[in-house]
């Protein structure tokens, strides 16, 4: 039987609608307008698209968008000076530095210069530590989006076997912590994992975040499992064009899984919706206001 398709585009629109309601209430009741600053260094074409979309959706939700575009040859010192300025700007509640940064910059140093309370990406070491110890943190947007979709589709996940394929700081590791927080039994598989197919075959929940097009085959999936595909890989479509595919062989996996996210239209749109949600959360925390329900964990 064919799997249920988890529609990230529709779900993310719902989250953005909730964000817009909360923003309207913050304006009406407290005169507070959440503000998000996005910094782009260089002109990576994919990053340009993501940053434009972030700015547009921030404004659509009723928030203030501050876009900072810097040339690729900007020095790390100049970028750190901008981050410091944003840290002290009271109109800015969230700061995001678009990744990847040019090679001459130390991304860790830049991320760790952001005020952790404004770190809406959840990449600062303080937020990583808070999440890892089960404390209130800013949660990275892509894993947060995956968790929201899983909660919506499965409800209680306690005791389920989950496998996260990929161990990146941005997705794999925070995702594993979030699933532990849901009381799943969690494995992290990676390039050195022995018999990865067997590890994946045990899982009720599969999160694929390796950046290898179509790596996870239908035969690896436990019948009925929920599959969340984080991969966004642009491949040659054979006719001089390109197309986006995930890390999961979608056509094979949909015949075995109980539910699956597509690429495009699955996890990707949730990333930006969760960025907006994190900005509202940060604005509420900064002003000592209660956090809106359902926009974070
Ligand atoms: N500072 C950050 N940098 C990057 C992050 C991040 O979370 N913080 N994530 C990615 C890029 N990203 C957001 O920045 C992002 C990626 C993909 C999508 C998305 O909606 N994808 C669509 C397809 C879009 C297309 O056609 O190319 C989908 O999957 O349906 C949104 C945001 C790296 N950098």
What are the DSSP E strand ranges found in 171-287? 185-189, 205-208, 226-229, 233-236, 242-245, 259-260
Binding site membership of 265 for ligand 1 (Cβ less than 6 Å): yes
Q: Which residue's alpha carbon is nearest to atom 10 within ligand 1?
A: 99
Domain 31-116 has CATH 3.10.20.340: no
pLDDT digits (tens, 9 = 90+) for 224-283: 999 999 999 999 999 999 999 999 999 999 999 999 999 999 999 999 999 999 999 999
Instruction: Count CB-CB contacts under 10 A for residue 195.
Output: 9
For residue range 182-231, list pLDDT tens digits in order: 999 999 999 999 999 999 999 999 999 999 999 999 999 999 999 999 99
By most ligand atoms within 8 Å of CB, the mutation choice from 12, 45, 98 for ligand 1 is 98
Map out the domains of the chain as residue ranges.
31-116, 141-268
Q: Residue 194: how many CB atoms within 10 A of its CB?
A: 7
Residue 168 in marked binding region: yes
Hey, do 31-116 and 141-268 end up sharing a CATH topology, with the first three levels equal? yes
- Contact status, residue 223 vs residue 231, Cβ threshold 8 Å: no
End-to-end CA distance of the chain: 33
Q: In CATH terms, is domain 141-268 a member of 3.20.20.70? A: no
Q: Is 202 annotated as a binding residue?
A: no
Entry pTM: 0.98
* 141 in contact with ligand 1, CB cutoff 6 A: yes
The radius of gyration of the chain from alpha carbons, rounded to an integer in Å, stands at 19
DSSP letter for 114, please: S
Is 12 assigned to a binding site? Answer: no
pLDDT at 180 > cutoff 80? yes
Q: How many Å lie between the centroid of ligand 1 and the Cα of residue 51? A: 9
The Å distance, Cα 45 to ligand 1 centre, comes to: 12
Edge-first strand order for the sheet with 259-260 is 4-5, 259-260, 226-229, 205-208, 161-165, 185-189
Testing ligand 1's pocket by substitution, the residue of 48, 105, 232, 269 carrying the most ligand atoms inside 8 A of its CB is: 232
**ipTM here:** 0.97
Cα(240) to centroid(ligand 1), Å: 24
Just list the catalytic residues.
Answer: 54, 98, 121
123 in ligand 1 pocket by Cβ < 6 Å?
no
Mean pLDDT taken over the chain = 98
Helix (H, G, I), strand (E, B) or coil at 157: coil
Q: 2: annotated binding-site residue?
A: no
Which residues, 6 or more positions from 71, have their beta carbon under 8 angstroms from its beta carbon? 41, 42
Percentage of the chain modeled with pLDDT above 90: 100
């Amino acid at each position: 039987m064919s799997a249920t398709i988890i529609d990230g585009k529709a779900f993310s629109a719902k989250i953005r609608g909730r964000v817009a309601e909360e923003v309207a209430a913050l304006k009406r009741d407290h005169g507070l307008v959440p503000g998000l600053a996005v910094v782009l260094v260089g002109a990576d074409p994919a990053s340009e698209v993501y940053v434009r979309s972030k700015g547009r959706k921030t404004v659509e939700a009723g928030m203030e968008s501050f876009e900072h575009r810097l040339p690729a040859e900007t020095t790390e010192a100049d970028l750190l000076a901008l981050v410091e300025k944003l840290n002290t700007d009271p109109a800015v509640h969230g700061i995001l530095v678009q990744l990847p940064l040019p090679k001459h910059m130390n991304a860790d140093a830049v991320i760790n210069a952001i005020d952790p309370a404004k770190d809406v990406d959840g990449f600062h070491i303080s937020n990583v530590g808070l999440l890892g110890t089960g404390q209130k943190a800013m949660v990275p947007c892509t894993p947060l989006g995956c968790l929201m979709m899983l909660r919506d589709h499965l409800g209680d996940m306690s005791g389920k076997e989950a496998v996260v394929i990929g161990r990146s700081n941005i997705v794999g590791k925070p995702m594993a912590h979030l699933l532990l927080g849901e009381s799943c039994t969690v494995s992290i598989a990676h390039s050195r994992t022995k018999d990865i197919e067997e590890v994946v075959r045990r899982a009720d929940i599969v999160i694929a975040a390796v950046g290898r097009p179509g790596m996870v085959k239908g035969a690896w999936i436990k019948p009925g499992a929920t599959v969340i595909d984080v991969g966004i890989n642009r491949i040659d479509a054979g006719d001089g064009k390109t197309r986006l595919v995930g890390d999961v062989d979608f056509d094979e996996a949909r015949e075995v899984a109980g539910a699956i996210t597509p690429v495009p239209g699955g996890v990707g749109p949730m990333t930006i919706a969760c960025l907006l949600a994190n900005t509202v959360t940060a604005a509420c925390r900064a002003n000592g206001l209660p956090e809106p329900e359902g926009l974070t964990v």
